[in-house]
Amino acid sequence: MPKGVKVEFHPEEFEIAIERHGQYVRWYSSMPCYCVDELTRMDPMCKECRGRGYIYTPIKEKRTIYRNMSMGGNVINTGKNINTLYRVQEPNGTEISYSSFNGSLITLSSSLKRGIYYEVDYIENLEYSFVGEAIWEGNGLLKANITPETSAEGDFIGTISEVTYLKNTTQNIELNILEYWENRILTDHTPDPNDEFEISCKYLKPIKFLIVGIKGREERMMTARARTMRDERIATFQDYDATLTFPGYLVVGAGDLITLLKAEQKMSAIGVYKSDQTYKLPFFHINRLVNIRDKRGDIENVSIIRKNELMFNGRTPDGRFSVSFMYLPTFVVSGETPSLRYGEDKVFPKVVGLKRFDITGKRDNRPSLESSYFQVSDVI
């Protein structure tokens, strides 16, 4: 680059790139499980953390800086739910006075001229309310008919965070809720064939992050060899399984989980069934089943519950069984400090390293099983 050439970087341009090239994910906050004792030992049989020592909760709000050009008038529509409003200002920092805000709308104290640029700094509420149809899927499972987040890449569903009620409207009875996850609810109800259902719930919308450099199995093995050969230069650049770029005003903490919603992968494995009602697979998010088979043949009528457990609604496996399934890869945020770039008093995007959070990743990050036997037989 020639000397004397002035170069200016604008954080908003990086954020536009994240929005344009990023992908929808679910972001879960990490914290130690209450089963961990004073010597940092976790309970291997803990039903909350499954013996990992950490529990994860979905993020319900995030900071957002919304920039736009005024079309005139005294109302700004951010298009997102505002939980806390920090400021409304012009790009040069001049404050724009407002009188109130409600939902996604901000009422200004006076009208803005057409063509004036402004930015709104606020906490966005990712939790939305839904009252509508629930669809019976059999075996105690219902699906809330939540409107998905739609983009050119496909539809991305929200995940239920709270259920107010689930009702069989045909029989006018409220159902007992055993579990809920994604847009699914598990009950102990047995309806008539033509019954209709209604649900009142809250759900969390997915968000976009920029994730690049995702490595396959062979690339991770090459990284391990580089560490074995003590080639620090190679290992430094190859130690992560992926990198995450996000707006600098967000706080992504070490141990947080990031699940990719459009990166479905296939896995085949061998398990051993020991008379439990369900069988846990060592992945954070199983998306769908391809086939399950044991020595007696195919096993039909199997449901996925709680994101990674198999519920056998008919014949159960006779000991050892094969299972093939599609899963959504999940990554854990590295414990290292993210790169911080603050120039011209501006907050630029941050970059952190990610490690795989499933059986194909680093051993310390593998989910635990109450049954100790699970063998991966094939990765495609």
Dump pLDDT digits (tens) for 153-196. 778 888 999 999 999 999 999 999 998 999 999 999 999 999 99
Q: What is the pLDDT of residues 291-326, one digit of tens each?
A: 999 999 999 999 999 888 999 998 999 989 999 999
Q: Are 57 and 162 in contact (CB under 8 A)?
A: no
Q: Nearest Cα to 245, choosing from 13, 10, 14, 8?
A: 14
Distance in Å from the first CA to the final CA of the chain: 44
Does one domain contain both 252 and 378?
yes
Q: For residue 220, give both structure tokens.
A: 């991770």
- Same-domain pairing of 215 and 333: yes
Q: Which two tokens stand for residue 24?
A: 């929808």
Kindly indicate the confidence band of residue 359, based on its pLDDT and cuts at 50, 70 and 90: low
Are both 157 and 283 inside the same structural domain?
no
**What pLDDT sits at residue 363?**
41
- What band does 351 get if pLDDT is binned at 50, 70 and 90? confident
Shared domain for 162 and 248, answered yes or no, is no
Is residue 199 domain-shared with residue 112, that is, in the same domain?
no
Judge contact between 211 and 244, C-beta under 8 A. yes
Q: What CA–CA distances, in Å, run from 207 to 4, 63, 125, 194, 210? A: 40, 12, 12, 36, 10
Q: Which of 125, 140, 175 is the last residue of a domain?
A: 125
Lowest mean pLDDT among 11-25, 233-247, 272-286, 366-380: 366-380
pLDDT tens-digit series, residues 59-118: 999 998 888 899 989 999 998 899 999 999 998 889 999 999 999 999 999 999 999 899
Percent of the chain topping pLDDT 90: 45
CA–CA gap between residue 131 and residue 162 (Å, rounded):
12
Which DSSP symbol is given to 378?
E
pLDDT at 10: 56
52 has a pLDDT exceeding 80: no
Predicted pLDDT of residue 11 = 55
> Number of structural domains, the chain?
4
For residue 173, what pLDDT is reported?
95
Full domain range(s) for residue 270: 265-328
Q: Which of 101-115, 252-266, 350-364 has the lowest mean pLDDT?
A: 350-364
pLDDT at 241 > cutoff 60: yes
Nearest Cα to 248, choosing from 65, 28, 7? 65
Among 74, 99, 125, the domain boundary falls at 125
Q: What percent of the chain is modeled with pLDDT above 70? A: 79
- Residue 211, pLDDT > 70, answer yes
- 23-32 and 98-102: which strand pairing? unpaired
Task: Supply 130's token pair.
Answer: 């839904």
Q: Write out the two tokens for 44.
A: 């291997």
Q: Do residues 200 and 291 share a domain?
A: no
252, 359: one domain: yes
Among 181, 204, 227, identify where a domain stops.
204
- pLDDT at residue 209 tops 70: yes
Say whether both 48 and 133 belong to one domain: no
Using CA atoms, how far apart are residues 245 and 259, in angstroms rounded to an integer?
Answer: 14
Q: Are residues 102 and 138 located together in one domain of the fold?
A: no
**Model confidence, pTM:** 0.80
Statement to judge: residues 179 and 143 lie in one domain: yes
> Do 213 and 278 share a domain, yes or no?
no
Q: Do 230 and 353 lie in a common domain?
A: yes
